[in-house]
């Protein structure tokens, strides 16, 4: 699966990564330097593109046409956002730690448009039937919002554990931040090996890129 190797941090062949990122840019008719690749650390740091190098951050935002906000995942939730006027776009890496810490709220407040004018799309991530977590994860979300209880269930989980619906958690956070136009959230990385990488399913695996940009 060399063509899909895009992550420089997960033991993908560096030469394959370079070649494939070049192919991706060519396919999209964009410059390789237009991609805002990030060193994702499950935090809440946001960078505005263009930016030099590969910064440690988990979201990017831009109002500059041709600059590509890029997120790499293999179970974590990629979230793309834009304003209705089409003047800004953003992409966020919302693994449970970053989601719980407020990465989506941080991105929403980075827009110049009001939250009611923002649209969000939830990309492929680990589905609720497969995302088993310990009680500390539920406790962390519950500490921030009691409604998070709706996203956790003991059905199908090991004793003392829960299955979590990361899509539900993301929608709750976006709604609380004022974003009600939320789409996607129906693709499971674990259960679809033909299309998606999954760390939970395969362990050592590549990464998929989720991208958004303003047309030049």
Q: DSSP class of residue 110?
A: H
**pLDDT on residue 215:** 92
User: If you average pLDDT over residues 198-215, what whole number do you get?
Assistant: 90
Lowest mean pLDDT of 14-23, 31-40, 52-61, 91-100, name the range: 14-23
User: If you average pLDDT over residues 13-17, what whole number do you get?
Assistant: 72
Distances from the Cα of 164 to the Cαs of 18, 71, 96, 131, 153, in angstroms? 35, 22, 10, 6, 7
Q: What value does the CA radius of gyration of the chain take, rounded to a whole number of Å?
A: 17
Is pTM, for the whole model, over 0.85? yes
Q: Estimate to the nearest angstrom the gap between the alpha carbon of 44 and the chain centroid.
A: 12
Give residue-wise pLDDT tens across range 127-165: 999 999 999 999 999 999 999 999 999 999 999 999 999
- Domains belonging to the chain, first-starting first, are 2-213 (3.60.140.10)
Closest by CA position to 175, among listed 161, 164, 185: 185
Closest by CA position to 11, among listed 145, 170, 204: 204
Give residue-wise pLDDT tens across range 19-49: 888 888 889 989 889 999 999 999 999 999 9
As a whole-number percent, the residues of the chain with pLDDT over 70 amount to 94
Closest by CA position to 5, among listed 190, 204, 213: 204
């Amino acid at each position: 699966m060399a063509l899909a190797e895009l992550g420089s941090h997960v033991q993908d062949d560096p030469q394959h990564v370079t070649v494939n990122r070049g192919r991706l840019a060519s396919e999209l008719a964009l410059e390789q330097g237009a991609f805002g690749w990030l060193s994702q650390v499950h935090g809440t740091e946001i960078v505005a593109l263009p930016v030099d190098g590969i910064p440690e951050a988990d979201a990017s935002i831009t109002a500059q046409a041709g600059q590509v906000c890029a997120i790499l995942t293999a179970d974590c939730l990629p979230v793309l956002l834009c304003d209705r006027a089409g003047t800004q776009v953003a992409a966020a890496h919302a693994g449970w730690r970053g989601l719980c810490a407020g990465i989506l709220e941080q991105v929403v407040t980075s827009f110049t448009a009001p939250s009611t004018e923002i649209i969000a799309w939830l990309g492929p991530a680990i589905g609720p039937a497969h995302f088993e977590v310990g009680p500390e994860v539920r406790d962390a979300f519950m500490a921030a919002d009691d409604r998070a209880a709706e996203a956790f269930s003991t059905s199908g989980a090991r004793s003392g554990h829960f299955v979590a619906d990361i899509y539900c958690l993301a929608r709750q956070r976006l709604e609380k931040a004022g974003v009600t136009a939320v789409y996607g959230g129906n693709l499971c990385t674990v259960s679809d090996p033909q299309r998606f990488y999954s760390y939970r399913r395969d362990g050592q695996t590549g990464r998929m890129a989720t991208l958004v940009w303003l047309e030049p």
